[in-house]
Each structure stands twice: as structure tokens, then as C-alpha cells.
A and B are shown apart, each in its own frame.
Chain A
Amino acid sequence: MVVESHETDGEFAGGGLGHTSRSPIVTPVFTDMVSSQTESGLLSSEGESQRTQYPYVTGTSVIGIKYKDGILMAADMGGSYGSTIRYKSVERLKQVGKHSLLGASGEISDFQEILRYLDELILHDNMWDDGNSLGPKEVHNYLTRMMYNRRNKFDPLWNSLVLGGVKNGHKYLGSVSMIGVHFEDNHVATGFGNHLARPILREEWKEDLSFEEGVKLLEKCMRNLLYRDRSAVNKLQIAKITEDGLTISQPYSLKTFWNFGAFQNPTVGAEGSCC
């Protein structure tokens, strides 16, 4: 099944229009989701629903920026089980449809569940076979509704998501949190990245970064996180999405510097003063 994206996008330019016209298909998908989860999944057999109280296996921050040709996103590959780093090859950046890239931090199992719902969404979209495909803005809206609805039932999907993509030359980068807070910006970060990467991005991001500059900026932020976030691992992936398509890099490590004079010799002149 081949889906071609034509220039039928006059009416879909706003994105929202396209979405509402599809609602007859989308809503059943949603209620399917709801009913399936009440039967199977997380609930025990009693009527009392089991709410997600706390996450178990979590991924740390994701950072995304817009650059000249599209979106760049970076995430490390660690999955922590509480305070141990249990999994070191978790891919937290995934493709969604033709135009979008999703990165998630938080509970890994909920991320896998979200991917499954998105899979269904994209499948139904393809089944229309009308030459159109859901762009990043539509997927972002879908995710927002889903997260907010789950939060209203006191059973959230414990994730902070970053969604980026390019459709018809229009770059889009947005974020959705666990409780449904969503916004669109030129640079987003989740988790610890909010505190450690955002200040750097606010200072140094500018319009029309080249690919190399963008990667350097992302690596600077990821290095910062590696030094100061306890659940970070030194194995990361950088994903790039442009009009032409998506590439997710192979995992690699960052170089770190530990040779400050004060680290070599912290108690010069006063032996024993250091803890």
C-alpha cells in the first residue's frame, strides 16, 4: 500500500481542519482504546481501577531543536529501574508515520503503549488511502488529547513527550507532558533537560542553525546532562527529520573532561580539609 502525499493540502494547511474531518474514524479508535484497557491491561478484576501511582522503568531527558532543514532530537539510551541503570539500549526516539518523530521520557512501558496507539492511528490513516498523511501537528494534537484524557481519569501515561516533524516545508516541534500540558516552541526539553539544557538553548539557539551547529548544540546540552543528571548514561542517539525523511543515528558516546587542576588536587595547602 503506497500512500502518496499530493498537493491536496490546501484545505489541510491549518492542520486542524484535516483532523476534524477525520473524526468519525478517530473517535472509534479512541473508544476502542478505552474499552480495551478497561478489560485487559492494567486493571485487576475488581471494579476499583488501579491507578498508575509511580513509574518503574524510566528514561531521562529528551531535547529537541528546530534547525534549518527540520528538527533535531537527542536522547540517551538509558532505562533506569529506580536508582539502578537497568537497560542501556532503550531506543527512546521513534518514527511516527511519514512526517513525525517522537521522543519520550518517563515510564518506558507507557511509551510502548503510546507507540501502539499511534501505530493504530497511522494504520487507520493509511487505510483511507486518500493521498494524505497525518502531519506532526495532528499527531501532537492526538497525543495531547490522549494524555489529558488519561490524566482526567487519574490514570496517566507517565511520560513527557517531544514530537517533531516537517510537513510541506513547515517545521513543527511540540511537547506534551504527563498531565496534558502541551505547547509548541523552537526548542523543547523534558525532565532534567528543563533545568540543565533549557538555559543553554535559550542563550544559544538561533534561527537557521546548520546541521553541524545543531548537533554541536545538542551535544553540549547532552554533555551537561551527562555530568549533572544521575540517571543519564553516556550512550546517545541523535535523530534528524527533514522533508526528505528521518534518520536516527547509531548510538555513540560523548567525550568528557575530568582533568581540572582542582579535581586532581583538591586539598592543596590544607590536607584533610576535603570530605
Chain B
Amino acid sequence: MMKLLTSQTWVLASKRCRFLLLSSSPRQLRYLPLLIRFLLADLLQIGHSVNNRSCTCKFITFTYLKMPSDTMDVPKTGFSFDLCRRNDMLAKKGLKSPSYLKTGTTIVGLIFENGVILGADTRATEGPIVADKNCEKIHYMAPNIYCCGAGTAADTEAVTDNISSQLKLHRYHTGRESRVVTALTLLKSHLFRYQGHVSAALVLGGVDVTGPHLHTIYPHGSTDTLPYATMGSGSLAAMAIFESEYREGLTRDEGVNLVTKAICSGIFNDLGSGSNVDVCVIEKGKKEYLRNHLTPNPRTYVSSRGYTFSKKAEVLLTKITPQKELVEVVEVGGDAMEE
């Protein structure tokens, strides 16, 4: 099939492959590679004809197209699932995919009388091993919005950073404080687009002009709006505490105590959660990020003697080499990266 789009451009389709023809002037003839001869041979089977007359398109340059179009055209929208298919195929053949760093978490949020309180534990696990004893799971989204993340650590970090940047641009564009539903919509559309492959389960909370809001977002993109919420592996233990003790109109201290209690319940009753408790209190116009608000798992034994060699070890040689400064580091005063 051949179709004349303009005087200079031809579009051609063959049974075996799709060709896109671009126009060319006679001058480019000499630069055409051998490839064209082969392509022409293919085309001859469907009986095309090349117009060699000088007045119209002289010769044809082909671009051989395959399935995903990486040409000057707009790339296909949506997520490309090719690599997912490849991963499945490899897994079926017995390849063990590398275990990713999961947070295996307890994260909670609740609404109290003046705003929102978010809480999280601080353990990041990689399978059975604790990879990070004191990681930060409460991520900054906007000055008035914070987001706790459970699931794959890379996914929660990346997705919250991405949406945080988008919110900042939006703030510059509109000149207003960000709203929690904006962050919610950005996050849920991002996660839905990736059909659950971005494994991030989030508790989003903040206070904006319309009041305090608390939402949960699941990896496939569904959301809930709740007065109190828990997510992560320790969510059942924390929800047990919330369901039995939450009431409306809690004061700030009561709220912080309840959140701490719920996170401690997750820490002590769930193996995927542990270490310390982080709390973030967001009220209208102000926020307080209480990093390591409670440390119920301190290191209990520290050797008082410090590290010494046993008496049997003989010192044969002592050589001390002072560190040489190769590069001088100068602190430049300026805007530190926000948060």
C-alpha cells in the first residue's frame, strides 16, 4: 500500500514490517546505504513503484520501524510492561530476583482536634535482615503535608520525592499553599498508572485551608479518607490500639500518646517493625517533626572498657600516618537543599 501524503513524503506499509518513508532530495541519493536495496527488494513483492521523475519525490529514505516507536513521533503513552514480561520469564526459568529493601513497617495517622499526627517506626528490612535500624519513613511533601511510606523503600522515596517536586512547581505556579487532595490525586494517578508495580503504600496527612485531612493510598492506586489509619505489616497491631482507644477531638498530647502507643504495639508485636518511633504533628500554620520521639529499644550493653587488645597480643611495630588533606573544602553560604 502506498499513500501519497505530500509531494515529498510517501507512506508505505508492507506485510512483514512497517516502513515510514521520509522525503529526500536527489542529493541524498548517494548517501543511501545498501540497506535500501534490500528493502526495495522486499517492497517489490508488493509491487510498489518509485517515482523517479525529477518533479516529484525523487527517492525514498526508509526508516525501519519496530513495535515501540522511538522516532521523532510522540512515544507511546503508558507504562511499557516488556520488562515485566522478561522478569516473569526469568523467574519461571529459576532466576532468583534480588530481594529489594522493604520497609516491613508500621505507619499510622490520626486526626486530632487541630490537625493531623503521623507516626512511623524506623526499621528497614531486607528479607530477614534489618538493613537500616533508624531510617526515616515520614517524608516531606510540602510545608503543610507529610507522607509516611510502607512497602519497597526505593518506591516510597522516589514517588514521594517526585510528587513533592510537582507540588512545589504547582505552588510556584498558583502562588498558594498546597492542598492535601492535590498531593492525593498526584500520588494516586501515578500509582495507578504503574498498575501496582510501584509497591508503595502511603499514609498522607496534612492541614490546608480546608482543614485537616488524612488519606491512605494503596499500591494499586485506591485511596481512603479516614479519621485514623494504619498501613504496613504492623498495621493490624496498631489498628487494634486505634480501634479500641480512638475518639474524636483528642488533644495534641493525647494524640501523640495514642500514636506512640500504636507504633509501639507494632514494634513489639510485629517482626517487620522495630527500633524507634518517629512522630510528626501538623497543625494549621505549623508543624513539628519529632524524629526519634521515643526510643524503646536502646542498646543495653556497652562495654565500659572500650576496645582493647587482649594482654597476649604483642605490639611489634607502631606506625602512625597522619591524614594528608589533598583538597580544601570551603563551605559556601547559601540555600541548603530544602528539607
Seen from chain A, the residues whose Cβ lies within 8 Å of a Cβ on chain B are: 192, 195-200, 202-203, 220-221, 223-224, 227-228, 260-263, 266-270, 273-275
Partner among A199, A262, A269 whose Cβ is within 8 Å of the Cβ of B241? A199
* C-alpha gap A274/B223 in the complex (Å): 7
B158 within 8 A of A: no
Chain B residues with CB under 8 Å of A202's CB are: 268-269
Q: Cβ of B184 and Cβ of A198 under 8 Å apart?
A: no
Partner among B181, B227, B243, B269 whose Cβ is within 8 Å of the Cβ of A228? B243
- A199-B241, A262-B227 given; A273·B181 CB < 8 A: yes
> At the interface with chain A, which of B164-172, B232-240, B310-318?
B232-240
Q: Cβ of A200 and Cβ of B244 under 8 Å apart?
A: yes
CB nearest neighbor in A for B224: A275
- A203-B265, A269-B211, A270-B181 given; A197·B240 CB < 8 A: yes
Seen from chain B, the residues whose Cβ lies within 8 Å of a Cβ on chain A are: 111, 179-181, 184-185, 208-211, 213-214, 222-227, 236-241, 243-244, 248, 261, 265, 268-269
- A198-B269, A268-B211, A273-B181 given; A262·B111 CB < 8 A: yes
Q: List 26 A-B contacts (CB under 8 A).
A: A195-B236, A195-B269, A196-B236, A196-B239, A197-B240, A199-B238, A199-B240, A199-B241, A200-B240, A200-B244, A202-B269, A203-B241, A224-B239, A228-B240, A261-B227, A262-B226, A262-B227, A266-B225, A266-B226, A269-B209, A269-B210, A269-B213, A270-B180, A270-B210, A273-B184, A274-B223
Do most interface residues of chain A lie in helix, strand or loop, or is the interface mixed? helix
CB nearest neighbor in B for A259: B248
CB nearest neighbor in A for B181: A270
* C-alpha gap A266/B261 in the complex (Å): 26
Partner among A197, A200, A268, A275 whose Cβ is within 8 Å of the Cβ of B223? A275
CB nearest neighbor in A for B249: A261
User: Smallest Cβ distance from A196 to chain B, in angstroms?
Assistant: 5
* C-alpha gap A270/B206 in the complex (Å): 14
- A202-B269, A203-B265 given; A267·B225 CB < 8 A: yes
* C-alpha gap A227/B245 in the complex (Å): 13
Q: Cβ of A273 and Cβ of B227 under 8 Å apart?
A: no
Beyond A223-B243, A224-B239, A269-B211, list 4 extra A-B contacts (CB 8 Å): A195-B240, A196-B239, A224-B243, A269-B208
Q: Cβ of B227 and Cβ of A223 under 8 Å apart?
A: no
User: Smallest Cβ distance from B215 to chain A, in angstroms?
Assistant: 8
* C-alpha gap A196/B241 in the complex (Å): 9
- A199-B240, A200-B241, A262-B225 given; A273·B268 CB < 8 A: no
CB nearest neighbor in A for B266: A199
* C-alpha gap A202/B241 in the complex (Å): 11
Q: Cβ of B227 and Cβ of A263 under 8 Å apart?
A: yes
Q: Cβ of A268 and Cβ of B210 under 8 Å apart?
A: yes
The 5 tightest CB contacts between A and B, nearest first, are A269-B210, A262-B227, A195-B236, A270-B181, A266-B225
User: Smallest Cβ distance from B105 to chain A, in angstroms?
Assistant: 15
Chain A residues with CB under 8 Å of B241's CB are: 199-200, 203
Q: Cβ of A227 and Cβ of B222 under 8 Å apart?
A: no
Q: Cβ of A227 and Cβ of B243 under 8 Å apart?
A: yes
Partner among A196, A261, A266, A275 whose Cβ is within 8 Å of the Cβ of B240? A196
CB nearest neighbor in B for A270: B181
* C-alpha gap A131/B295 in the complex (Å): 56
CB nearest neighbor in B for A226: B243
Chain B residues with CB under 8 Å of A266's CB are: 225-226
CB nearest neighbor in A for B265: A199
* C-alpha gap A227/B246 in the complex (Å): 13
Chain A residues with CB under 8 Å of B179's CB are: 270
